[in-house]
Amino acid sequence: MTLTFRLDPSFGGEQGGRALRDGLLTLWADVSNAGGAVGFVPPVSPEDIRPELVGHLTAMDQGRTHLLVGFDDDTGEVAATAFLAFNTHRLKRHWLWLYTVMVHPKHQGKGYGRQLMAAAADAARGFEGIEAIRLTCRGGTGADRFYAACGYKEVGRVPGAIRVGPDDDRDDVVMLLPLSAA
């Protein structure tokens, strides 16, 4: 099973744009409700997530962020996504952030995550002057092991920086993928 990836898919057209937005919102809610560490704590609805997506879409309109979407080849549905965000600081423009990395829970174990990470690295290589990808992940989820298996190295950790609930603080793990070595 494979995905077809599109960088910055069109939100044009009333019906097509709505379907893509709805697909992104559904994916984000489903991943969150399955325990995925993508900025929300369950239970969450697509409407709870909408303001965050609007912020991402605004950043895309401003050219600061790009959206990578993996569409399921069998159904055409949104199955995976990641956002790539440029740094605006003049001393950090040689690397970009990868965030809100998601694969729909029904597709876990199919290799879609590795496909998504490879497509994100390929997309980053297509931007002039980008030498590395940096991401953060929530400790205690196993995501750091997954990213390490994709070639990322842990370069920092802030203990207890993420509070997901009362008496449930998690480390914020910083990881880096140099694109020349990937």
Are the C-beta atoms of residues 121 and 179 closer than 8 Å to each other? yes
Number of H helices, E strands in the chain: 4, 7
Residue 132 tokens, joined:
């590395």
**What per-residue confidence (pLDDT) applies to 102?**
98
Residue 43 tokens, joined:
């239970």
First-residue to last-residue Cα distance in the chain: 24
Could you count the other beta carbons within 10 Å of the beta carbon of residue 73?
Answer: 11
**What per-residue confidence (pLDDT) applies to 1?**
73
Tell me the residue type at 80.
A
Cα dihedral 88, 89, 91, 96 sign: negative
Are the C-beta atoms of residues 108 and 143 closer than 8 Å to each other? no
Q: Say what the pTM is.
A: 0.94
**What per-residue confidence (pLDDT) applies to 43?**
97
Can you list the domains of the chain with their CATH numbers? 3-178 (3.40.630.30)
**What per-residue confidence (pLDDT) applies to 181?**
54
Are the C-beta atoms of residues 71 and 79 closer than 8 Å to each other? yes
Are the C-beta atoms of residues 70 and 81 closer than 8 Å to each other? yes
Residue 126 tokens, joined:
């297509």
**Per-residue model confidence as pLDDT tens for the chain (182 residues):** 789 999 999 988 777 799 999 999 999 999 999 999 999 999 999 999 999 999 999 999 999 999 999 999 999 999 999 999 999 999 999 999 999 999 999 999 999 999 999 999 999 999 999 999 999 999 999 999 999 999 999 999 999 999 999 999 999 999 999 998 54
